[in-house]
């Protein structure tokens, strides 16, 4: 979850049409062209290439052979793949609501004007976003450990034995904590920026009508930032389905808990770079991309429909 994903949900309000729109001109392409050229090279071409790859199989004898949809049939019956999908789905179901819920509460608290030291809170909670996933995972990984970590210190200080956070039963939750730590502030900022542009006159009107704070939050603030919530949810879904950095960096500390097919992305990576199965790896990546798009699209439809 290192790269920023663009908001998929809300189309920006289209620019007001130029005052004199007699004819459409190609001038705009002069400015947009460079972006589109690089975009085609690093987004579109790999997608096309990946589809092409997924239709072939590289055999020791016979070389590259067209196999049609064989790779897809194989993936649909692949327990390792579905195990990985199940794992990220579980992760998604628990971590995303938790993280977004906290982010929303923090944003509402900041927006309420009832805090001492508001700007201190805002910037501090956002800071982990500047920390690379590598560093965040290494820090938490050390802290989870019983040797150098806080867990070890707590154990010896209080004479207790906390569960091993890097054991197979706990490692997914441990990763969830790292991801939450990294992105709660980022999501908080999305919500907070959206709250700031709600006209305060709405609150005043509501207060005159006798609405309490909770009522204002429920009836004005939350509906007003629904678009931001949908966007943040879609970001987080894409992020969860892409989960790779945290488990891969944590793996040396938790070899038994994190297998090379821990997440779908980890699986494609291992297939390609340890197994040299480029064609099958491309197939798995495509299926995962399709699953992600379907889920993201469903969330968007649901989020937007409610608005109507």
Q: How far is the CB of 113 from another protein (least distance, A)?
A: 4
Q: Tokens 């052979």 belong to which residue?
A: 65
Q: Is residue 298 near another protein by the rule CB under 8 A?
A: no
Nearer to another protein, 24 or 305 (CB): 24
- Quick one: how far is CA 98 from the chain centroid? 13
Interface region with another protein, contact rule CB under 8 A, candidates 66-74, 79-87, 93-101, 199-207: 199-207
- Report the C-alpha gap between 30 and 158 in whole angstroms: 67
Q: How far is the CB of 13 from another protein (least distance, A)?
A: 7
Nearer to another protein, 172 or 237 (CB): 237
Q: How far is the CB of 168 from another protein (least distance, A)?
A: 18
Tell the burial category of 171 from Cβ atoms under 10 Å away from its Cβ (0-12, 13-18, 19+).
buried
Q: Is residue 204 near another protein by the rule CB under 8 A?
A: yes
The runs of H, that is alpha helices, within the chain are 27-39, 45-54, 70-76, 79-111, 118-126, 133-144, 150-158, 171-196, 200-208, 213-216, 222-224, 226-241, 245-250, 264-273, 278-307
Q: Is residue 256 near another protein by the rule CB under 8 A?
A: no
User: CB of 9 within 8 A of CB of 194?
Assistant: no
| Residues 3-62 interacting with another protein (rule: CB under 8 A) | 3-8, 10-13, 15-21, 24-32, 34-36, 38-39, 41-47, 49-50, 53
- Report the C-alpha gap between 239 and 220 in whole angstroms: 29
- Report the C-alpha gap between 227 and 191 in whole angstroms: 10
Q: How far is the CB of 205 from another protein (least distance, A)?
A: 10
Q: Is residue 280 near another protein by the rule CB under 8 A?
A: no
Candidates 94, 133, 162, 220: give the one binding another protein (CB under 8 A): 133
Q: How far is the CB of 82 from another protein (least distance, A)?
A: 17
Buried b (16+ CB within 10 A) or exposed e, 92-117: beebbeebbebbbebbbebbeeeeee
Q: How far is the CB of 95 from another protein (least distance, A)?
A: 15
Candidates 67, 94, 138, 220: give the one binding another protein (CB under 8 A): 138
Q: Is residue 210 near another protein by the rule CB under 8 A?
A: no
Interface region with another protein, contact rule CB under 8 A, candidates 56-64, 66-74, 159-167, 272-280: 272-280
């Amino acid at each position: 979850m290192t790269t920023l994903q663009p908001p998929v949900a809300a189309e920006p309000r289209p620019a007001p049409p130029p005052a004199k729109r007699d004819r459409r001109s190609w001038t705009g392409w002069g400015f947009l062209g460079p972006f589109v050229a690089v975009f085609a090279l690093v987004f579109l071409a790999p997608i096309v290439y990946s589809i092409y790859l997924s239709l072939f199989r590289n055999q020791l004898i016979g070389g590259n052979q067209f196999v049609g949809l064989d790779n897809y049939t194989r993936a649909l019956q692949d327990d390792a793949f579905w195990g990985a999908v199940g794992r990220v789905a579980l992760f998604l179901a628990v971590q995303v609501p938790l993280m977004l819920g906290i982010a929303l509460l923090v944003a509402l608290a900041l927006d309420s004007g009832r805090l001492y030291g508001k700007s201190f809170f805002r910037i501090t909670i956002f800071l982990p976003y500047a920390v690379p996933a590598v560093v965040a995972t290494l820090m938490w990984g050390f802290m989870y450990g019983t040797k150098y970590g806080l867990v070890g210190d707590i154990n010896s200080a209080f004479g207790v034995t906390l569960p091993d956070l890097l054991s197979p039963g706990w490692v997914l939750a441990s990763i969830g904590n790292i991801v939450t730590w990294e992105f709660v502030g980022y999501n908080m900022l999305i919500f907070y920026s959206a709250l700031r542009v709600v006209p305060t006159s709405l609150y005043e009107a509501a207060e005159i009508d006798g609405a309490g704070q909770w009522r204002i939050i429920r009836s004005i603030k939350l509906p007003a930032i629904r678009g931001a919530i949908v966007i943040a949810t879609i970001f987080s879904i894409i992020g969860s389905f892409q989960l790779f950095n945290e488990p891969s960096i944590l793996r040396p500390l938790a070899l038994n808990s994190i297998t090379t097919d821990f997440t779908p992305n980890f699986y494609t990576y291992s297939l390609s770079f340890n197994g040299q199965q480029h064609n099958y790896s491309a197939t798995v990546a495509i299926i995962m991309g399709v699953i992600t798009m379907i889920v993201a699209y469903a969330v968007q439809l649901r989020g937007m429909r409610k608005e109507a």
